[in-house]
Amino acid sequence: MLDEKRVINEVAARNGIRIDADDPFFASATMVQLALEETLKIVEERFRTTIAEFESHIRLAERSAGKAVAQEAKVWASELREGLRRDITAAGLKARVLVQEVHEAHERPRQIFWTAVGLLSALGLFCSGVWFGRLTHLR
């Protein structure tokens, strides 16, 4: 509220005019003070409303940004999955080629071994036949 003594002293000091506590000036000052208080209440309410709207817009922007980030993450994840699928397919093809090469590398000595066994067996049978033929022919 208005400090009447301070106002009386300030008006006298600044303007050289003496006013009393029952002067109509104080009624005007009280009306101005009440108008200012009412205006401040309105401004404060508008300020609170503006802040609430601002916070609401911020939350909406956060949700929109979150949706945009989520959509971008889905696209990125899809591209990543596709890239991984291609890499896995390529790796599978390379693995098949390597397995085939390893199989052929192991198969070649096996073929040579069994061919040698077969030739030695054939030679053994041939020699046995020759030997058996000589034995039976000499008697």
Give the Cα separation of 84 and 6 in Å (integer).
82
What residue spans of the chain are helical by DSSP H? 4-15, 24-138
Q: Which domain holds residue 67?
A: 4-138
Give the Cα separation of 22 and 13 in Å (integer).
19
Of the candidates 59, 57, 36, 39, the one whose C-alpha atom is nearest the C-alpha of residue 47 is 39
Q: What is the pLDDT of residue 120?
A: 93
Q: What is the pLDDT of residue 1?
A: 62
Give the Cα separation of 52 and 46 in Å (integer).
10
What is the tally of structural domains in the chain?
Answer: 1
Sign of torsion, CA 18 21 22 27? positive
Token output for 78:
């899809």
pLDDT tens series, the chain, 139 aa: 667 888 888 888 888 888 887 888 778 887 888 899 999 999 999 999 999 999 998 888 888 888 888 888 899 999 999 999 999 999 999 988 888 888 888 788 888 888 999 999 999 999 998 888 888 876 6
CA 55-56-62 angle, to 5 degrees, is 90
